[in-house]
Structure 1
């Protein structure tokens, strides 16, 4: 094992690229939903992937039937709260009404360090990384 600062260690290496959570939110890759998450009882910042955000947005027809993004997000947050445990990754399913049928959406939430190393939650589809 090399000692810190010895030739070949990464201690003095230049960063090739870094991409912060803040940048991902600014770019629209992640969507900050912390304000509603706080209302739902979450104590750390919460974001969704853009793909999940798009899936939770109801169609015009579904909106006419009473569906809303905030309502669907609330359901996601409530199910996540009920499933949360000691793991940093939680797999869970949410049923969403779409076009007169019930669709099961398979999700996962990852708790990890944010830009300042404080805990944050990111919710995404189970097959997203």
Structure 2
């Protein structure tokens, strides 16, 4: 298979540039992550970005992202040596209404074979 011609290749860097992946490496490093980290645009836009109407509820992208990354770090630490972990995160979606997002965090090779983390919804995998 190594000698098969490549018809199409879509790199992680291209996905970040296109907005399909959201680079959250800086925020992840502040929590303790040691690898390049992204969140899929689906997870980011559906849960991390607060829905309209929550301005007075203390909801912000920064706070919701922190919660997601912190839960990811705890789940990864409990997982030990595995390369994938699944866990739930609660997000306030409207005043008094919480949704549980089932989330997957997977570590794998980046564009140059380096370890990278992708945090996503199961259907984004």
Tell me the TM-score normalized by structure 1: 0.88
Which fold has the larger relative contact order, with Cα–Cα distance below 8 Å and residues 6 or more apart in sequence? 2
Q: Moved runs in structure 1, 4+ residues, more than 6 A? A: none
The equivalences for 1:45-64 within 5 A come to: 45-55=36-46, 56-64=48-56
Which runs of 5 or more residues in structure 1 are unaligned? 1-9
CA RMSD of aligned residues (A): 1.1
Aligned residue in 2 for 1:121: 117
User: Counterparts of 1:36 and 1:44 in 2: how far apart (Å)?
Assistant: 11
Q: Which has the higher helix share?
A: 2
Aligned residue in 1 for 2:35: 44
Structure 1 residue 114, shift from structure 2 partner: 0.2
Aligned residue in 1 for 2:61: 69
- In the alignment, does 2:102 pair up with 1:106? yes
Tell me the matched-pair count.
Answer: 120
Tell me the TM-score normalized by structure 2: 0.90
Contact conserved, 2:16 with 2:22, CA < 8 A, in 1?
yes
